């Protein structure tokens, strides 16, 4: 299996797992660790040089929304939306860390 296919599958699995965790809570043992590992793989394999800035901006926005707890005020579905966003942020944060480090290393080599 090619590396880019592994990265794409890790991204898809991470998003689906984050949605499931957001809806049903931590029903899967070690789910947080699984999201972190998948996020690290995505950061290494999926984000190329020209995608770095848009990815990091989107990750920052997602992390701000996840930390704001503003979604919980939406009636009926707010707590589910908040759970999903927090789980996606747990998946995205390690990927953003890897991409940011790769960017810093790349900038220092130029």
Distance of CA 6 to the CA centre of its chain: 16
Distances (CA, A) of 4 to 11, 54, 95, 109: 11, 19, 15, 25
Per residue in 59-102, pLDDT tens?
Answer: 999 888 888 877 778 888 888 888 888 899 999 999 999 999 99
Confidence (pLDDT) at 26: 67
The model's pTM is: 0.84
Q: How confident is the model at residue 21 (pLDDT cuts 50, 70, 90)?
A: confident
């Amino acid at each position: 299996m090619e590396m880019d296919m592994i990265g794409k599958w890790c991204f898809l699995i991470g998003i689906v797992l984050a949605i499931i965790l957001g809806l049903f809570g931590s029903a899967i043992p070690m789910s947080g660790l699984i999201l972190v590992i998948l996020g690290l793989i995505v950061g290494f394999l999926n984000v190329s040089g020209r995608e770095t800035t848009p990815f990091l901006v989107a990750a920052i926005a997602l992390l701000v929304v996840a930390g704001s707890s503003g979604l919980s005020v939406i009636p009926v579905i707010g707590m589910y939306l908040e759970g999903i966003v927090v789980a996606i942020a747990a998946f995205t944060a390690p990927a953003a860390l890897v991409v940011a480090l790769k960017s810093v290393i790349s900038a220092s080599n130029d």
